[in-house]
Amino acid sequence: MKRAPLKLLSVLGFFLLWAIIAAAVNSPDVPGPAEVGLFVAREASSGELFYNLAVTLSRVAAAFLISLIVGSAIGIVMGQNRAVDRILDPWIIIFVNLPALVIIVLCYIWMGLTEVAAVTAVALNKIPNVVITMREGARSLDPKLSEMARVFRFSRMRTIRHVVLPQLQPFIAAAGRSGLALIWKIVLVVELLGRSNGVGFQIHLYFQLFDVAAILGYTLAFVIVMLAIEFSVVQPLEHHLTRWRPKPA
Amino acid sequence: MSADGEESEILRDLAFTLEAGTFTCLIGPSGCGKTTTLRILLGLDRDFSGTVTMPAGNVRTVAVFQEPRLLPWRTVEQNVRLALPPGATPDIQPLFATLGLQAMLDRYPSELSLGLERRVALARAFAVMPDVLLLDEPFVSLDEHTAERLRELLIELWRRHAVTVLMVTHNVREAVQLADRLLLMNGRPAGIVGDVAVPMERSKRSGDRLQQFLDELTRNHAQTVRA
């Protein structure tokens, strides 16, 4: 637990630096932590903050789950089957290079300004990355363990749960980590372009009012939510899943 | 098929029958196709022409591989239990006791020595109570003391479970100590070049008598057997 105070100190240092810069510039365009904190408190007491955070978070969760499941399925098949890999590889390269904005705009045009279009657009942006990571994972599956499972007549479920998934776990974690960060950034753009609620919409709104404290307030609030997820869900889960690894002394 | 994509014939006219409940060792120089033979018997290698006939009924064939092949993310006990057929809950504590694994049940494979991992692999194979057990040089790269102990355990388990054993080894002394019968394999492509019964009782396979048998074996099959 020696690392915790150091981390805390680092975070405090960040806020201190921010406060000093804000005081030095002394402009309404660069609000200090206190002003931003005040906005967050006001927005929280009206309920507005939590509503918009929840809306954005649910979009992030939906897009995250869809892209992880669909991307994993495609990636694993590609990693295990050379023919499928050759056929789908150019598609993946095309999709991974399509600008997020193009996918979002096209989804809204073709599917209307709907929730489905928003989540689909975000998922489509993320799926190629998941595919590439999971394909790598599927290629690295140990054939010796698969043979063992066959010799001992493991059922399909048993093989997936005890032989395949533990080997894919680091790749799933990597795809998830980078996925969560990328997805919430894209969700904000999607909200800005075609939704009437969520953090992205609020930032758009306050951009038109040039209210920088509000923009930073929403950003800060969401970053805190993501940090909370990282520390309360992602890290303990990872720790649990890698408990079998030999620990460095 | 080799790694560079070149096709080569490894085995030809290979034929043998194993008597139920016997212990047979397959001996031959490295790379002559012993492991391939086991892989064919296990159904892991389908690139061959010929037949493998198992006795009628639901015959369980399992293997102890050259490497222990344990699941690193499961404990010793989970590794053994996962190999059991669905729904089966035999009492495997005596097996753990015989193999001296009781204190290790909650450990992960990475915390075990190679010798202990090999014991777990043996436990896993015996826990399913197989009819046929194939072993692929299960005691290589162990110190002689540990290997000797594991050989004794293997014989003890084989006696108790009445299983048909085929073990691949290139350690002739080990083979003569363990087996009822030796199958000698050689050639390119390889086939069976010798079929030798070991007439001595297992308890008497030591000292001069063992040496005498080994000498004779080496003399008769100089191409295949190097003591």
Q: Is B73 within 8 Å of A244 when comparing Cβ atoms?
A: yes
Give the pLDDT mean for A98-111. Answer: 94
Q: Which of A49-63, B35-49, B52-66, B118-132 has the highest mean pLDDT?
A: A49-63
Residue A169: C-alpha distances to residues A155, A239, B88 (Å): 20, 12, 29
d(CA A18, CA A20): 5
Give the pLDDT mean for B134-144. Answer: 86
Task: Look up the pTM and report it.
Answer: 0.77
Interface check B128 vs A, CB under 8 A: yes
Interface check A158 vs B, CB under 8 A: yes
Mean confidence (pLDDT) of chain A? 90
Instruction: Evaluate whether B112 touches B146 at the Cβ level (below 8 Å).
Output: no
Q: Is A158 within 8 Å of B82 when comparing Cβ atoms?
A: yes
pLDDT at A214 over 60: yes
pLDDT at B191 over 90: no
> Residue B180, SS3?
coil
So what's the ipTM on this one? 0.84
pLDDT score at A248: 61
Interface check A2 vs B, CB under 8 A: no
pLDDT score at A184: 86
Give the pLDDT mean for A81-108. Answer: 93
Share of chain A above pLDDT 70, in %: 97
Q: Is B71 within 8 Å of A162 when comparing Cβ atoms?
A: yes
Chain A residue with CA closest to B109: the answer is: A244
Cβ–Cβ pairs < 8 A, chains A and B: 45
Give the pLDDT mean for B133-144. Answer: 86
Instruction: Evaluate whether A75 touches A88 at the Cβ level (below 8 Å).
Output: no
Give the pLDDT mean for A13-22. Answer: 93
pLDDT at B185 over 90: no
Q: Is B42 within 8 Å of A144 when comparing Cβ atoms?
A: no
- Residues A158-185: tens digit of each pLDDT: 999 999 999 998 899 888 888 888 898 8
pLDDT score at B207: 78
**Residue type for position B25:** C
Interface check A145 vs B, CB under 8 A: yes
Q: Is A162 within 8 Å of B111 when comparing Cβ atoms?
A: no
- Mutate which: B41, B73, B117, vs A, most A CBs within 10 A: B73
The DSSP symbol for A26 reads -
pLDDT at B89 over 70: yes
Longest dimension (CA), chain B: 52
| Residue among B44, B72, B85 whose CB faces A147 most closely | B44
Residue B2 banded pLDDT, cuts 50, 70, 90: very low
> Residue B155, SS3?
helix
- Residues A92-102: tens digit of each pLDDT: 999 999 999 99
Burial class (CB in 10 A: 0-12, 13-18, 19+), B6: exposed
Chain B residue with CA closest to A241: the answer is: B73
Kind plus residue range of the DSSP H or E element containing B186? strand B181-187
Q: What residues pair up with B164 in beta bridges, in sequence order? A: B132
Q: Which residues of A touch B124 (CB under 8 A)?
A: 152
pLDDT at B97 over 90: no
Interface check B42 vs A, CB under 8 A: yes
Mean confidence (pLDDT) of chain B? 83
CA B15, B19, B20: angle at the middle one, nearest 5? 130
Give the pLDDT mean for B22-39. Answer: 85
